[in-house]
Amino acid sequence: MSVAATRHWHRLEDDRVQCDVCPRACKLREGQRGLCFVRARDGDAIVLTTYGRSSGFCVDPIEKKPLDHFLPGTSVLSFGTAGCNLCCRFCQNWDISKSRELDTLADAATPEAIAQAADRLGCASVAFTYNDPVIFMEYAIDVADACHARGIKALAVTAGYMCAAPRAEFYAHIDAANVDLKAFSERFYARTCSGQLQSVLDTLIYLRHHTDVWFEITNLLIPGLNDSDEELDRMTSWVVRELGPDVPMHFTAFHPDYKLLDRPPTPPQTLTRARSIAQGNGVRFAYTGNVHDREGGSTYCPECAALVIERDWYSLGSYALSDAGRCEACDARLPGVFAGRPGSWGRRRLPVRMMSFGR
């Protein structure tokens, strides 16, 4: 199990075959791989070369994805593959996303084995994370379907850099997503990620207006590159205008990595400033991330301002929502997906070898 057929491609007049999964639109001759490395031309078609292979599995708290309004406190079986369709100079997972070694993909697992493992580990969801599931969408879809058959949810952690037809196919199988909105300028996307902002905005609009997928947004703030008041003001105004006030936004801290080593780590004050700009523009759930900040990491009722979910990093503290996600003080319904009492996974991280669950 490794090579799988794919659907989103077409032949060009010059005999190359174009992949239509993401706006990169790689045009491949026989034997060539796309920029993501995992999709390649094989004969007259594009195939996925890493179906059923993973760079590793781990049980994480859902708050780490981050998703704060989706089954809080529960555990998630997380995995990724290799490769990526963006080239972010600041990549915080570059050993996986830029891997050109198939050795990275040591842990093989069928969709059914993953669903079975999630079930046995007591996970409420499986997350496609560490690298972008856009590039291994056929595998992710089959895993999601196997999970749904056992009542387990499927989550995507993604940069949202995807074309319209595969986007619609992919999200028909996904329950929740965290979309990385890396900046709010085409210049940043072009220079720092070799991508385009507009495709990501299209994904966000699609999710909000054409699906029931619960989604939250993450914005990693890099000192001097995407953290100005003006850019944060434009980004958060756009979110409220186009997506509404109830899409949670997470402002998270950068640490120097990969090819961006000349910038300092993000000061906590920058995250607090971003949160406050977002709130000023009407974002009702703005969070700071990757830092100990009880106030910035907790959820407050949008109607009566009561503290309803207390968080410190990935750990939950006090919890004042009903089983249906209503504020215990004023009965207002919190946007998101809530089912029963919160989980008690805490901030633990548990590496898992899939071999121990059979294949």
The conformation of residue 246, written as its DSSP 8-state character, comes to T
* Farthest-apart Cα atoms in the chain, separation: 66
Q: How far is the CB of 5 from ligand SF4 (least distance, A)?
A: 14
Given the complex with ligand SF4, which of 177 and 239 has the nearer CB atom? 177
Q: Do 330 and 320 form a contact (C-beta atoms < 8 A)?
A: no
26 or 278: CB nearest ligand SF4: 26
**Complex with ligand SF4: residue 39 or 182, whichever CB lies closer:** 39
Nearest to 302 by CA among 272, 325, 270, 271: 325
Nearest to 50 by CA among 63, 41, 40: 40
Q: Which of residues 125-184 bind ligand SF4 (CB under 6 A)?
A: 135
Among 17, 36, 91, 232, binds ligand SF4 (CB under 6 A): 36
Closest residue to ligand SF4 using C-beta atoms: 34
Q: Which is nearer to ligand SF4, 39 or 275 (CB)?
A: 39
In the complex, least distance from residue 162 CB atom to ligand SF4, rounded to whole angstroms: 8
Q: Which stretch binds ligand SF4 (CB under 6 A): 22-30, 195-203, 284-292, 295-303?
A: 22-30
Out of 1, 5, 12, 25, the only residue in the binding site for ligand SF4 (CB under 6 A) is 25
Distances 42 to 7, 53, 156, 199, 320 between C-alpha atoms, Å: 13, 19, 27, 27, 55
Counted residue by residue, the chain has a size of: 359
C-alpha to C-alpha distance for 190 and 180, rounded to whole angstroms: 16
Q: Are 324 and 301 in contact (CB under 8 A)?
A: no
CB of 93 to ligand SF4, least distance (A): 17
Our finding on whether 26 is near ligand SF4 (CB under 6 A) is yes
- β-bridge partners, 40: 33, 47
Within positions 222 to 261, which residues make up the interface with ligand SF4, using CB under 6 A? none
Q: How far is the CB of 132 from ligand SF4 (least distance, A)?
A: 9
Task: Pick one of 21, 71, 220, 249: the residue that binds ligand SF4 (CB under 6 A).
Answer: 21
Confirm if 266 and 254 have CB atoms less than 8 A apart: yes
| Stretch of 20-28, 117-125, 224-232, 323-331 lying at the interface with ligand SF4 (CB under 6 A) | 20-28
Residue 40's identity, in one-letter code, is A
Instruction: Give least dist CB 246 to ligand SF4, A.
Output: 31
H or E element, residue 234:
helix 229-243
Question: Between residues 18 and 272, which has the closer beta carbon with respect to ligand SF4?
Answer: 18
To the nearest whole angstrom, how small is the minimum distance from the Cβ of residue 136 to ligand SF4? 9
Q: Minimum distance between the CB of residue 112 and ligand SF4, rounded to whole angstroms?
A: 25
CB of 169 to ligand SF4, least distance (A): 13
For ligand SF4, the binding residue among 17, 34, 99, 143 (CB under 6 A) is 34
- Number of shown-chain residues binding ligand SF4 (CB under 6 A): 12
CA distance 39 to 16: 14
Q: Between 9 and 254, whose beta carbon lies closer to ligand SF4?
A: 9
- In the window 74-103, what residues touch ligand SF4 (CB under 6 A)? 85
Can you tell me which of 4, 16, 35, 322 binds ligand SF4, judged by CB under 6 A? 35
Helix axes of 268-280 and 229-243: crossing angle, nearest 10 degrees: 40
Judged by the rule CB under 6 A, the positions of this chain that interact with ligand SF4 are 19, 21-22, 24-26, 34-36, 39, 85, 135
